[in-house]
């Protein structure tokens, strides 16, 4: 299990490659579920030019650790990686990377989804968006569940 | 005998303080910490609270040297 906050931009796919090299799961791992959240240039009908991600140092890491440990108790996992940005963020930057490895896809898929949803609701981060003429705090996250097309 | 108090995000901006300390009084609850730290301003609805970096409800008692944090709904990820 590895959890890190990053104040500088990171490349999620390079991070995954490096993390995989450090692990020795070959043969045991049958599934990897990966979520990468990136910064959009729009939100709630406004163009967004940048963002500042505030966090609560100490509590953020503690909450992320608890979220990952809870997932490891609920599902059979081999490894969990969570990277999350803090500070100034540019459009297109990766904000969060979650990678869950397991022997079977069910555990990997479900745990990855659960970790993201728990992170969204409990990890103490706050987004402040820079719009064209002003700034605003994001007061709630978008739903993690898509509306199906009819 | 003191309690450290921290505020985050738009709450920090609206109050104009990021951290302070208040005198610890035997039996004080999180809501009492809020009143002491903000000079009894009305607590915004939906505010989240943590004691020593764990989520807690407003009616629980705090202890000397605790760190109490107040913040709005989170929005990471």
Q: Name the region of A3 (left: φ>0; alpha: ψ -120 to 50; beta: rest).
A: beta
Q: How far is CA A116 from CA A94, B4, B6, in A?
A: 14, 30, 26
Provide the whole-model pTM: 0.94
Encoded tokens for B70: 């107040």
The CATH architecture of the domain made up of A2-135 is Alpha-Beta Complex (3.90)
pLDDT of residue A106: 98
pLDDT in tens, B20-33: 999 999 999 999 99
Bridge partners of A137, per DSSP, are A128
> Along chain A (150 residues), what's the average pLDDT of each consecutive run of 10 residues?
98 96 87 97 94 98 98 98 98 98 98 97 97 93 81
According to CATH, the topology of domain B2-71 is Ubiquitin-like (UB roll) (3.10.20)
Beta strands A2-6 and A79-85 are parallel
Compute the distance between CA of residue A18 and CA of residue A14 in angstroms, rounded to an integer. 6
Chain B residues touching residue A128 (CB < 8 angstroms): 9
pLDDT of residue A140: 77
pLDDT of residue A142: 77
Cβ of A52: how many Cβ atoms within 10 Å? Answer: 15
The more confidently predicted of residues B60 and A143 is B60
Compute the distance between CA of residue A98 and CA of residue A80 in angstroms, rounded to an integer. 7
Mean pLDDT of chain B: 96
pLDDT of residue A23: 84
Q: Where in chain A are the domains?
A: 2-135
Q: Which positions in chain B have a beta carbon within 8 angstroms of at least one beta carbon in chain A?
A: 6, 8-10, 50, 53-55, 69, 71-77
Instruction: Kindly determine whether residue B74 and residue A126, on different chains, have CB atoms separated by under 8 Å.
Output: yes
Q: Where in chain B are the domains?
A: 2-71
Compute the distance between CA of residue A141 and CA of residue A129 in angstroms, rounded to an integer. 13
């Amino acid at each position: 299990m590895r959890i890190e906050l990053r104040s500088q931009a990171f490349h999620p796919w390079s991070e995954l490659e490096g993390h995989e090299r450090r692990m020795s799961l070959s043969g045991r791992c049958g599934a990897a579920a990966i979520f990468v959240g990136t910064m959009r240039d729009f939100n709630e009908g406004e163009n967004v030019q940048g963002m500042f991600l505030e966090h609560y140092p100490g509590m953020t890491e503690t909450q992320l650790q608890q979220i990952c440990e809870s997932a490891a108790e609920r599902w059979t996992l081999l490894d969990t990686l969570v990277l999350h940005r803090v500070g100034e963020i540019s459009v297109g930057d990766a904000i969060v990377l979650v990678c869950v490895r397991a022997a079977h896809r069910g555990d990997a898929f479900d745990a990855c989804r659960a970790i993201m949803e728990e992170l969204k609701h409990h990890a103490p981060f706050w987004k402040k968006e820079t719009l064209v003429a002003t700034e605003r705090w994001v007061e709630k996250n978008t739903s993690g569940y898509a509306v199906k097309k009819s | 005998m003191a309690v450290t108090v921290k505020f985050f995000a738009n709450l920090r901006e609206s109050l104009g303080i990021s951290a302070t300390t208040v005198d610890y009084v035997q039996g004080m609850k999180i809501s009492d910490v809020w009143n002491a730290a903000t000079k009894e301003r009305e607590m915004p609805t939906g505010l989240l609270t943590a004691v020593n970096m764990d989520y807690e409800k407003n009616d629980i008692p705090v202890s000397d040297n605790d760190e109490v944090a107040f913040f709005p709904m989170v929005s990471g990820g």
